[in-house]
Amino acid sequence: MNVLLIGSGGREHALAWKLAASPMLTKLYAAPGNPGIAREAELVALDIADHAAVASFCLEKKIDLVVVGPEAPLVAGIADDLRTAGIKVFGPSKAAAQLEGSKGFTKDLCARHNIPTAAFGRFTAAEAAKAYVRDRGAPIVVKADGLAAGKGVTVAMTEAEALAAIDDCFSGAFGSAGAEVVVEEFLDGEEASFFCLCDGTAALPFGTAQDHKRVGDGDTGPNTGGMGAYSPAPVMTPEIVERTMKEIIEPTMRGMAELGTPFSGVLFAGLMITSSGPKLIEYNTRFGDPECQVLMMRLKDDLLVLLQAAADGQLAHMSARWRDDAALTVVMAAKGYPAAPEKGSVIRGLDNAASRGVEIFHAGTAERDGVIIANGGRVLNVTAVAATVTEAQRLAYEAVDRIDWPEGFCRRDIGWQAVKREKA
């Protein structure tokens, strides 16, 4: 099969690495890709916002499957436009991607189908949102409705903080994403990421992970896209996975089909495991980044076969097998991330740093005169697999320490919850 992978981050490098291992693969292209992805795929300088150009490339190169990594092209309708041109795509339609693109859409779906989630209100004006906050009190959570790259959420511990967040949204801090605001109940518990491959009808559980969203050690500082992750998530016991499928994922699949917008692609549920069971925090309609990196290190089966089955509506009889090992990834970011990452610094020692059980995925790198430089906020994902999280953590940080990049930084405590559990 000829495959085109869309995207340029660490998630896409991990997908490329795993797709490249498939005996079914003839040729892998990636657009726009990055220097790490270039080791697995031929990079194509396509403008992925130009769907007609992507479609004509696919027809010319006889692409059998397009795999879309990030959310922005999905929300922009790339899957619809490629399907219209007769090209097979792994990824949801624009209408189905609303599960990620609009928090209000998802909350309404939850309400209609009794899917457990935080109580909420939707607002298009500040005064009504503020009245809701004053009525409910803190802690309370304020969210910009649209896509805001993980930065549109304020978990307010005081009423004043919540009121200020509402003003921020309506004053345009998140652009059009903040034109509508969701205010919701604060959920107490342990967070986990849960993934399912979906084919419009069937949903196949596809791994669990825990992410570290805050930039600093001890879960301090501003929220980021994710500073590290590990898999599996110990709180996702078989019982909790079963409840999540029954109470959250399956009603969502039915609800989307009833709306005439069946969901195919990867459904990523951000969950809070509360004392009364799993509750949905939010959906994403793509793999997590960096969660995907740890999932790919643990997946035993052929990714290409599974993604193709999802795109073909043939998941019902498929299964996915995982290594018993744990995987852990440490994000190395450019100093200044998340506010203002410095670009252009030189990274050395990458060839030295990888070892048995360790893969270094490129997230935000570029190549200049044969040298790898930082070209984004999150730059490298140092990913290890081992019998325990503790061991995977040790391997990952040993590799981090072999990388010569003074302008980079990382958290030093990725996996701390699981390491603590393993010590107990």
35 vs 69, which CB is nearer to ligand GLY?
69
Cβ-contact 10, 381 below 8 angstroms: yes
Within a 10 A sphere around the Cβ of 339, how many other Cβ atoms?
Answer: 8
- Total of residues contacting ligand AMP (CB under 6 A): 15
The single residue among 11, 51, 122, 213 that binds ligand AMP, judged by CB under 6 A, is 213
129 vs 272, which CB is nearer to ligand GLY?
272
Q: Give min distance, CB of 333 to ligand AMP, in A.
A: 18
DSSP 68-81: E-SHHHHHTTHHHH
153: partner contacted, choices ligand GLY, ligand AMP, none (Cβ within 5-8 A by kind) = ligand AMP
Residue 300: φ, ψ to 5°:
-90, -30
155 vs 259, which CB is nearer to ligand AMP?
155
How many angstroms separate the CA atoms of 352 and 354, rounded? 6
88 vs 213, which CB is nearer to ligand GLY?
213
Structure tokens at 397: 């940080």
If one asks whether residue 118 binds ligand AMP (CB under 6 A), the answer comes out as yes
40 vs 291, which CB is nearer to ligand GLY?
291
Q: Give min distance, CB of 366 to ligand AMP, in A.
A: 28
Q: Supply the Cα-derived Rg of the chain in whole angstroms.
A: 21
Q: Give min distance, CB of 196 to ligand AMP, in A.
A: 17
Please choose, from the candidates 397, 187, 196, 398, the residue with its C-alpha nearest in 3D space to the C-alpha of residue 291. 196
Cis amide prior to 238 (ω within 30 degrees): no
184: partner contacted, choices ligand GLY, ligand AMP, none (Cβ within 5-8 A by kind) = ligand AMP
**Binding site residues, ligand GLY, CB under 6 A:** 150, 211, 225-226, 284, 288-289, 291
Please choose, from the candidates 100, 91, 151, the residue with its C-alpha nearest in 3D space to the C-alpha of residue 307. 91
If one asks whether residue 309 binds ligand AMP (CB under 6 A), the answer comes out as no
x/- letters, 145..184, toward ligand AMP (CB under 6 A): -----x--x-x----------------------------x
Q: Give min distance, CB of 290 to ligand GLY, in A.
A: 6
Residue 200: φ, ψ to 5°:
100, -35
Structure tokens at 124: 């298009």
Q: In sequence order, what are the beta bridge partners of 230?
A: 210, 328
Fill in the DSSP letter of residue 341. Answer: P
* Site residues for ligand AMP per CB under 6 A: 118, 141, 143, 150, 153, 155, 184-187, 191, 213, 270, 281-282
